[in-house]
A and B are shown apart, each in its own frame.
Chain A
Amino acid sequence: MSRFDRTGLAGAGVLAVAALVALVAPLLIDAEALDVTRVTAGAWQAPGAGHWLGTDHTGRSVALLLAQGTGTSLFVGLTAAILSVGIGTLVGIVSGHFGGLLAGALLRVTDFFLVLPALVLAIALSTVLPRGLGTIVLAIGLTSWPSTARMVRAQTLTIEARPFVERARALGGGHGHVIARHVVPSVVPLVLVNATLAVASAIVAESTLAFLGLGDPTRISWGAMLHQAQLHGAVPQQAWWYLLPPGLAIVVVVLAFTLVGRALEAVVTPKR
């Protein structure tokens, strides 16, 4: 077993645990425990027997918030990544396969998104659109596809230059045939790898937006927790237990996705 296999498996293990927490937490956690008007514990309590990770400025348990936030972060990360990779793959294949004016236009659009700082664009989008989870997914998805598009286009061009595509054309195969039988199968492994890496960056992007206060205010996410902690003075309170757990959770999950992505990359890259 190579080094990549082992780290990849470790990453997959972490992700399995995170997914389990995300699914189970909403079922087990009592809504009252997260309701600021009903909590009984005092604010800013240090970790102890009652609250493993202490409480926040309203007396809610940080451990419960963390568990509740897992779902939001993973959901946004996955859907935004799927959206971004989806757009990127479509643009990449279309511009690579058809060429000409269409490709030129698509590439200029890609370049536009590529040179614009994605975060600034996402911030602009999420201030214009109505607040909500959908907006965040859209903002992240719409700003992070250009790199996938470039990569898929390059791969499409490589494949299309191969003689077997010319043979397919000579057999009478049209655009649909060439794309479906030759281009897509060779692009898919690359796209899968790219998707796992895109999830990691989407989670970071979500946290960033939430930390800047642009997230969905009705939902708990790791980024939103950091936003609240900063807003209500966790630093002057020296409440490290409110800052560290969401931060570490982001780091661990992003790392896990990256490790899995790297391992997949090693699997799908043809060996010589």
Chain B
Amino acid sequence: MLELKNLSVHYGPKRVVSEVDLTLAPGQTLGLAGESGSGKSTVAMSVLRLLPKAARVQGEILLDGDDVRTMSWGRLRAVRWASASIVFQGAMHSLNPVRRVGDQIAEPMRLHGTRGGVTELLEQVELPREKARAYPHELSGGQRQRVMIAMALACGPRLVIADEPTTALDVVVQAQVLAVLKRLVAEQDLGLLMISHDLSVLAETCDDLAVMHRGEVVERGRTREVIANPRHPHTAALTAAFPVIGDPAHRWAEPAAAPEPLLRVRDLVVDYGRTRAVDGVDLTIGRGEIVALVGQSGSGKTTLARTIMGLRKPSSGRVIFDGAEVARTGKALKAFRRQVQLVLQDPSSALNPRHTVFDAVAEGLRVHGLADDQEALVTAAVERAELRPASLYLEALPHELSGGQQQRVVIAGALVLQPRLLVADEPVASLDASVRGEIVALLLRLRRELGLASLIITHDLGLAWQIADRVAVMHQGKIVEQGSVEQVLLTPAHDYTRALLRAVPQV
């Protein structure tokens, strides 16, 4: 059905895809794995000739025997969506915010004169028919993504291309969306080309797997075999990056003796208007201890972290740091913030694009008036964060660095104040698989060398298994279960923890 022969794509002199050969038959599911910049999305977009004008495409792209490259404009329009359609990443941005989703699903049907009803399509993706009248912002992330799938199926295509369909979703919703996609592929005998950086997602849905690296397909075969016995070092790096819960080899944190408490949260309540985001939470973090706070999006874990940092006022309850209650205002709060530092999820937005690395790292020093010897302190912090030699990076602007390097700069900016607790909100979620492992190792090394305690907020149970000493599971504002990693993740006591664990895709 789809056949790529010797496909190469150049942007100017830069080759982003080189000599890719792929075939896909009806009913077949093919996963395309790779990191950002590996060319996997470019391959997908080339199938429907959706690449920008600057792209130079060579080779053959045969869709049902016709070469997409040489198709007439009219024929291409007929082929798009009716023969092959795409489920785009980030459904929030791919849906028009001012039109009802039902109209948007119907749009390709109207353009192609396809018969059929929006209601049936919504039923196929397990959405109630009333949702057709909803606007995108009235739907949750998982519902929006299902609308995107319904839209892709509107004209009865035989090939569906899914570009990172679940990337922004948390585990439970991801599992639901993947289940819908899998069922539809099986029922309607569709060909599915699924693109993801996450091998476990591809393992869940695809029979065959191709791994891309720097524009080339470096390995392909049956998914199980590729993941079980990776032959190419890059594939091995990708598989290693996704920890298997319960596998001692993926447990990187060394066992620590029970430490004395550094931070204690007592009966903390935070309200947003009438909504209770955090509902009576008790949490303790010991000196040099790494605690993972896991839960779905909306469970209140980020609000809890913000409140601990003093960025939000709690409605009631206490935060005790090092034996003293944390002040809410003034000098005492400022002094507390020297001790506790924040690492955010997306490093590219956590750095001011106008500030150099030096400025970004030195910002904390300037805030606290530690002006003397700035240069030496910044250099030391940057090198601690493993950007060596520091002189190479100090004058760089954030956009000149890779995602992993940016995250190291954010960590260096936290380290420069010599904090005792690091609060990290999804510290590796937006990083590539190979970088992820390095950042996890860095956090563990900082704990070992500096005795730095961390509160890691994540929806990724694998990360918790890899790094944490203790896990606290948060659900609807409450901590429903906490204990040592082994205890919580291997013998979960609460139903919600079990549900979370079930939703984790199995490699």
Write the residues of chain A forming the contact surface with B, with a CB cutoff of 8 angstroms: 162-164, 166-174, 177, 181-182, 185-186
Contacts and interface: CB of A to CB of B under 8 A. Distances in A.
A172 B367 contact: yes
A164 B367 contact: no
A171 B417 contact: yes
Contact of A170 (B342, B351, B354, B368): B342
Nearest to B350: A163
A171 B418 CA distance: 12
Interface string B287-299: 0000000000000
Contact of A164 (B309, B349, B364): B349
A168 B342 contact: no
A186 B353 CA distance: 10
Nearest to A161: B349
25 contacts: A163-B346, A163-B349, A163-B350, A164-B349, A164-B350, A166-B344, A166-B350, A167-B344, A167-B350, A168-B363, A170-B309, A170-B340, A171-B337, A171-B341, A171-B364, A171-B417, A172-B333, A172-B334, A172-B337, A172-B368, A173-B363, A177-B367, A181-B352, A182-B352, A186-B354
A166 B346 contact: no
Contacts of A169: 311
B413 interface: yes
Contacts of B366: 177, 181
A171 B413 CA distance: 9
A167 B406 CA distance: 14
A163 to B, nearest CB: 5
A97 to B, nearest CB: 15
B344 A181 contact: no
A148 B417 CA distance: 38
B264 interface: no
B410 interface: yes
B346 A167 contact: no
Contact of B311 (A166, A174, A181): A166
- 7 cross-chain pairs, A with B, having the tightest CB-CB distances, nearest first: A170-B342, A172-B337, A171-B364, A173-B367, A172-B334, A163-B350, A164-B352
A96 to B, nearest CB: 17
B329 to A, nearest CB: 10
Nearest to A185: B354
B338 interface: yes
Nearest to B360: A164
A208 to B, nearest CB: 39
Interface string B316-344: 00000000000000000110011011101
A218 to B, nearest CB: 47
A227 B350 CA distance: 57
Contact of A172 (B349, B354, B364): B364
A166 B311 CA distance: 8
A164 B397 CA distance: 14
Given A170-B311, A170-B341, A171-B364, 11 more contacts: A163-B346, A163-B349, A164-B349, A166-B344, A166-B350, A167-B344, A170-B342, A171-B341, A171-B367, A171-B417, A182-B352
Given A172-B368, A173-B363, A181-B363, A163 B344 contact: yes
Contacts of A168: 363, 367
Nearest to B346: A163
Contacts of B346: 163
B313 to A, nearest CB: 13
Contacts of A181: 352, 363, 366
B382 to A, nearest CB: 16
A171 B363 CA distance: 8
A177 B337 CA distance: 15
Nearest to B365: A171
Name the residue in A163, A171, A177 with the highest tally of chain B Cβ atoms < 10 Å from its Cβ. A171
A169 B336 CA distance: 12
Contact of B342 (A162, A166, A177): A166
A185 B363 CA distance: 15
B23 to A, nearest CB: 36
Contacts of A174: 334, 367
Contacts of A177: 366-367
Nearest to B423: A170
Contacts of B311: 166, 169-170
Contacts of A186: 354
A267 to B, nearest CB: 15
Contacts of A162: 349, 352
A270 to B, nearest CB: 8
A162 B367 CA distance: 19
A238 to B, nearest CB: 57
Name the residue in A163, A167, A173, A186 with the highest tally of chain B Cβ atoms < 10 Å from its Cβ. A167
B363 A170 contact: no
A170 to B, nearest CB: 4
A183 to B, nearest CB: 11
B368 A164 contact: no
Contacts of A167: 342, 344, 350-351, 410, 413
B338 A172 contact: yes
B342 A164 contact: no
A179 to B, nearest CB: 13
A272 to B, nearest CB: 12
A80 to B, nearest CB: 30
Contacts of B364: 171-172
Nearest to A176: B367
Contacts of A171: 337, 341, 363-364, 367, 413, 417
A25 B254 CA distance: 82
Contacts of B333: 172
Name the residue in A164, A168, A182 with the highest tally of chain B Cβ atoms < 10 Å from its Cβ. A164
Contacts of B352: 162, 164, 181-182
